[in-house]
A and B are shown apart, each in its own frame.
Chain A
Amino acid sequence: MTHPSEWTLRRAIAFCAALGVGVATYIAVEAAGGDAPQCIAGSTGCATVAKSSYSHVAGVNIAVFGIVGYVLLLASAFFANDLARFGGFVVALGGFGYSVFLTYIEIFKIEAICQWCVGSAVLMTILFVLNATRLIGYAGTEGEGTAGRSSLREAPG
């Protein structure tokens, strides 16, 4: 199976993670100021979700955890080694899993949709796919994997 080059994957991960840092920071800053993030088209979903008891874990706004996760993912894109590949995968897996849970909560428990949370969930899903592709394609590779295939599996013998 061919994969995009690790160079391409790393840059895509860095781009999505940077966007994620922006989204999570916006939500965290609005919450810290006592407001809720502004939904588009006058929807009150963002305020409903932000005021719900699910917006905090152990007294900390979940957007703060989001910032930490996105920063770790951004950092993982700067290194071409197995620690970065596996670490990035684990963080993205955790973020994706938690996004699935939060989306379930929004739909079935809070009965309101926060557009910013959906945006973050979409970014986490993309990041999970990118990091999984990177790990499957290039785990065990010394240095940066080249385009198309893992340099490990391209090596003869």
Chain B
Amino acid sequence: MSEPEDRRKQLLQLAAGAVFLAIAVVLVLIVVNGSSGGDGGDTSLEGVAEVNRELAGIPQQGMVLGDPKAPVELVEFADLQCPYCKAFAEEVLPSIIETQVKNGEAKVAFHNFTIIGEQSPPAGAAALAAGAQGRGWNYVKLFYRNQGTEDSGYADDAFLESVAKGAGVENLEKWNQDRAKFLPEVEATTAEAQELGFNGTPSFAIEGPKTKGLEPLGTPESVGDLEKAIAEAG
């Protein structure tokens, strides 16, 4: 056999080997990812892809959703275990996010006001730790989406971690380390809510060019009430 023919045979054998290797690598990647969590892979949670899709493209800094330069800040004081907060987050806030947040008129901040039970502060701190990685609102919305019976003990470490995975928190180790660090902030915002005179969740406050600092709004009845409050504050 001539030298070029030899070389040709060797190259084609190497190419065939590379094809088998590539097929094996792709199959392994698919199997490994199929059995792990991720942006849509945690099948124990509902609405992972939907929540992440809803918030895609909207800036998040800490627990603030929307353009950081937006003139009006709407502050929601809520407890992740509170069913009324879930209802408000799923039925009222999306309209505000779609309009006044996306057009840069307002931003919405989530502040913990933990009043339900002993699992509420760790859950709130878990959301703040997700916020440190730009996934705070994904965490809050996904938590609400999978909320269990009020203070029934469902919000344990495993649940909090599965929400973090579903929310797309990239560095779970850091998230886990950060959780305890954020507990004082949960206490601080709970105290802030009490100072504003709130005694139930969800409660809202607003700050803008036409307000005197952070002014309490209470719990608006409808989307229209919130839209009006934002318009008046700006």
Contacts and interface: CB of A to CB of B under 8 A. Distances in A.
- State the majority secondary structure of interface residues on A: helix
Interface of B: 4-9, 11-12, 14-15, 18-19, 22-23, 25-26, 29-30, 33-34, 38-41, 49, 52-53, 56-57, 59, 168, 170
Nearest to A89: B15
B5 A112 contact: no
A52 B57 CA distance: 11
A75 B4 CA distance: 23
- State the majority secondary structure of interface residues on B: helix
A140 B56 contact: no
Given A82-B7, A93-B19, 15 more contacts: A34-B59, A36-B57, A48-B49, A52-B38, A98-B26, A101-B26, A108-B34, A108-B40, A110-B40, A112-B49, A112-B53, A139-B8, A139-B11, A139-B12, A141-B4
Interface residues of A, number: 39
Contacts of A34: 59
A130 B56 CA distance: 36
Given A53-B168, A93-B22, A94-B22, A36 B40 contact: no
A140 B40 contact: no
A109 interface: yes
Contact of A53 (B5, B29, B170): B170
Nearest to A98: B26
A85 B39 CA distance: 38
A89 B9 CA distance: 15
Given A100-B26, A109-B33, A142-B4, A82 B19 contact: no
A101 B29 CA distance: 7
B58 to A, nearest CB: 9
Closest CB pairs A-B (n = 9): A140-B8, A111-B49, A47-B57, A47-B56, A97-B22, A140-B4, A48-B56, A139-B11, A52-B39
